[in-house]
Chains A and B, each alone.
Chain A
Amino acid sequence: IIKLNSKQCRIYRVRINDLEAAFIYNDPTLEVCHNESKQRNLNYFSNAYAAAVSAVDPDAGNGELCIKVPSELWKHVDELKVLKIHINFSLDQPKGGLHFVVPSVEGSMAERGAHVFSCGYQNSTRFWFPCVDSYSELCTWKLEFTVDAAMVAVSNGDLVETVYTHDMRKKTFHYMLTIPTAASNISLAIGPFEILVDPYMHEVTHFCLPQLLPLLKHTTSYLHEVFEFYEEILTCRYPYSCFKTVFIDEAYVEVAAYASMSIFSTNLLHSAMIIDETPLTRRCLAQSLAQQFFGCFISRMSWSDEWVLKGISGYIYGLWMKKTFGVNEYRHWIKEELDKIVAYELKTGGVLLHPMFGGGKEKDNPASHLHFSIKHPHTLSWEYYTMFQCKAHLVMRLIENRISMEFMLQVFNKLLSLASTASSQKFQSHMWSQMLVSTSGFLKSISNVSGKDIQPLIKQWVDQSGVVKFYGSFAFNRKRNVLELEIKQDYTSPGTQKYVGPLKVTVQELDGSFNHTLQIEENSLKHDIPCHSKSRRNKKKKIPLMNGEEVDMDLSAMDADSPLLWIRIDPDMSVLRKVEFEQADFMWQYQLRYERDVVAQQESILALEKFPTPASRLALTDILEQEQCFYRVRMSACFCLAKIANSMVSTWTGPPAMKSLFTRMFCCKTCPNIVKTNNFMSFQSYFLQKTMPVAMALLRDVHNLCPKEVLTFILDLIKYNDNRKNKFSDNYYRAEMIDALANSVTPAVSVNNEVRTLDNLNPDVRLILEEITRFLNMEKLLPSYRHTITVSCLRAIRVLQKNGHVPSDPALFKSYAEYGHFVDIRIAALEAVVDYTKVDRSYEELQWLLNMIQNDPVPYVRHKILNMLTKNPPFTKNMESPLCNEALVDQLWKLMNSGTSHDWRLRCGAVDLYFTLFGLSRPSCLPLPELGLVLNLKEKKAVLNPTIIPEAIAGNQEAAINPSSHAQLVGFQNPEASCNMSAHQQGVKRKADTPLGSPLEPGQILEKNEDSSKVKLKIREEIDMDTVHDSQAFISHHLNMLERPSTPGKEQSPLEMSMHPVATAPLSVFTKESASSKHSDHHHHHHHEHKKKKKKHKHKHKHKHKHDSKEKDKEPFTFSSPASGRSIRSPSLSD
């Protein structure tokens, strides 16, 4: 039995070596729980889902498609000869995996900008063709796509040639990917793309949708620098011979990296006038390129090794950030990521990078705190997965801290060079495993290169989940001149772990800055740190800082007895931790003013929120004014200042916070109420100019209202905004002004819940509303880039509604949420509807949203709605709500059970929502089921699905056919005559251009005719995969190749050349194949007829060679697949 992955495909016929083979198609993930009307608890579902996913997990040798090898061929299998599998299949209206974008305008498909691309979360290639959908099964590929002549098909590998079909209406793109690649890294994008060859690197080609070429030119003009950077630090050339970037609409994710091509969202394109999007887009480009090296070229051995790939690609991406945007930006980013992961882990309880699934240890599930299984990528919550990636690169950074960057890069270089050697060695399969990275292999090369033992670090952060939570406080002992530092840990709350080991503490004293490394041990809380300087505040002397700088300080604020200026715990972020440290307000202020590290500055700003004093105010204002200071620090200082001002509202003197500052920086000298005409040449001040009004609008007076002065100020900014002389667009700036207006809104004073009408509208609100109306209307006439202004207006309107100034009504948002608006607008509008659903507990809107989740054409929007509903749920598990009823439970259950089977991400999103709404156990709103069942649930947390076990067995044994599954047993009849034709097509293509009968190309032909969406794309593809030849095959094929070098040669995959020095295998395989290719010529004309008929379905057929070479010695595996892991465990070779 051979098992393959396939979803949504209709399989007509499977042939092995030209013999019809019986097959069963059974996809347990289509409907996770069968016939279980009563069961509604999530625990049950998650277990069933995990079991279903394992039942088709390619890494475990499973698959949806079980093909029985005909008994005639058993001998072949025993002799370990090549088995060639043809699969005829079609794909009708795929719901996932391939996404069609077909704008409903007049004109041909090309004129309308219709396009299609492959998409998915993790290994999702099975959605569009049958394959071993695993990252660890490598093979080389030959792909053919026949498309309308106006379209371009972009796929992996080199475009060998483009040939017209005989009627000249279509053309066929022939791709060759000679680097062994996993099926999961195969992708496709077809559309009427505009083509741009990178002017710096001619092997790089960019594609975008019609009319966007100028934007594409600008956006990609930077890419070559990223290439140079990575190639330099990795001292390794880009592994593929070409690279393609495709920018498409309705993207599944912003960035998706596949072998030698990346698919981006078209919304990343921008012109030279856009400031804010530029760094974001460049980051996306850099990210995708990093993943080309680690993720596409180097693949992973198994799911538990995913963290290495994500870690390395994230890490080198970080290095690129450091080089491009500077150390400040890099450190700020690291801190941001650290804060994110810490917050997530503390909230949900731990992200495990390297899940180990030992056979016996199944019981102590490492992720019992989670409502989903982490055994499979497809059961993970999307948020968990993003956090997983974030943690992975942070851990890589920790490893770098331990072994130095030089060694780190050497390790990467070693991995890459091993892989590229392996990839060029065509036919030796055991070499190909070098292209797969595993945790143990990675750790081994680290210890080889650096000679350091990083095992404790790995154990702490990789094999274990959780972060560290420190509480620190100190006292200064004047007599001993010692700093008594107390560091406590919380390792009992969820998501935390105990840390034992070194911890760096930096103490800034009067005499300078000193690093101390404390040893955190089991029971030691207190640490004595000797101070270097006596307290001597009277002596005027410059104070040396960490970076060697010497500065004058006004020391009057500090404690006369203590020489301590400030203390930092773990300043280099070398532990994944959260630190809550107590020190006096003046120490935070010194830290803010004089510490040069942006992370320290950020921390002190955060801490100063708790100290609303004039001194804090002064420190923040000084930072705001300091132009050398990192702009992000200044931006956060704005918000802190606003908070402090609100806390000290009764004692605040002078004009509202930041007003005079803003006036000084950005307004005209002669008339301070008028802002200068925009000039955004200095990005730092641009960002500050954008942010300050937003922060100012948060100011409140004693009545908790936004001061009139501030509102007038913001309105004046809007009024006098003049962008005529500016080189850059001011759309983000204007959008932030609207955000500022929204921030200034305070709850309306309402009397008896009266209906909001125009007459009782607050005059200030009237002014605000007038601006919003004007902006929103102007957007219709002169739209801004990415409609930033509309987005802000919609948010502002929701704020007005929520505060009771405007009647709460979702109709406006619903109209903006419709398909056909720009995606940012839709998301903003949907967010408002989600919020409305929560606040007004509207069943109708919830239904509307759920309906959209099921029916919206854009997968990203559907995912986003679920995500927003989870973040801002209409009710939670312990809450009484009129919305929580049985029908809703059923609806959501259905959604995750069967409604989302075409999109892993969506299903996991539905699970998340279900968890948020109802929790793990049976929803409380349901009527009590039979008593026995309830008891059962409470006793055993993990109830095994009684149906899933036999089903899994059924899948394995192929004996029982599950009635609910889509199993179909096809015998030896030919279901579709035309399939036969397309099967012969390849013989035509190969042509008898060599007198010697060449082995028939394994490959596949796919013809599509998308009738639903009326895309008349014709794709024919030919894919070589899993070709396993013995040495005889190799040698004779090699001879063939030498004879006709111009013909695209077929790829050989794994075999052990060294073990078969003598050719023993019979040539019968080849004679047979050549016979079939001759035979096919006769059918050629039939094939043409078939094509003219334009049948409304797609055919695809695939050939698979599998020849198992006989293992004679040494090799412990019986199956010489690159993924040895699969072969050992693989039950697929049951015969």
Chain B
Amino acid sequence: MDEIFARAKSILVIWADDVDPENLPVFQETLQTKAKQANIAFENVQMLLDSRRATSSFDIILFGLVSKRDPPTNADLFNEFFRLLRPNGYLITHIEHTTQSQAVDHFKMCGFTSCNPLDTNSSFLIENKDDDVKKLGSLWLCQKPSFDVGYSVPLRNRGNSQTGQVSSTNETKKTWTMDDDDLIDTNDLLDDNDRKKPDVKNYDCGTSSTGVRKACKNCSCGLAQELEQEEHAAAKETVKSACGSCYLGDAFRCAGCPKRGLPPFKPGERVTVPNMSDV
């Protein structure tokens, strides 16, 4: 139980009108010490259905624990608790023994799995209850399953394969993956539009760029070499500098500069191709 509270990030405490108002802040304090990282919200049971809180927003819901007597239960209320809980979240409430089986039926119909009584009647959770209520009832812990009810899981429809030769390979599960079955098939997220590639020619580059062939970064087919030959041939044809800024780096050279491709140098200096890494 302690871990459940310690891990919780958000808790909802539902109280009914018969609560002694002084008990609420005290309860909150005690609860906060048990659930250090949790955000604790309080709501009057009458207001709950109207407030339409977000689905799956609480780790724990505590119902009717602060009041002296056990509140009446109804299906609508439990359905709402179920909706508000996160998958694997917990509902904790106190139930009279005489109405126990009916309550458990309610729980199950809403979709709660694993409903169990706790035998810790000394828990801080019910310290506000009358003694006779404590004697005639128990704390119950119900958990919402990890699958959201109503969430449809797509069925694989492979039909009968031609050959029946396809076999599953359970023995070959990679040890470094978590259960793949826990995940949706991400390919289902894509539609036909997604599978199309963009039309490169339609890219608006905002200038009058011609559609020049470009080699890939890790060109392994030889196009990069080919393009380079073409560019070098073109550059060789212009021998005279048009701007006089040849000695500055490529950032300042004009398009036809004979020194294009070389690092900057001092004016008048003879420049050779640096052979820094000619392996």
Binding partners A and B = no
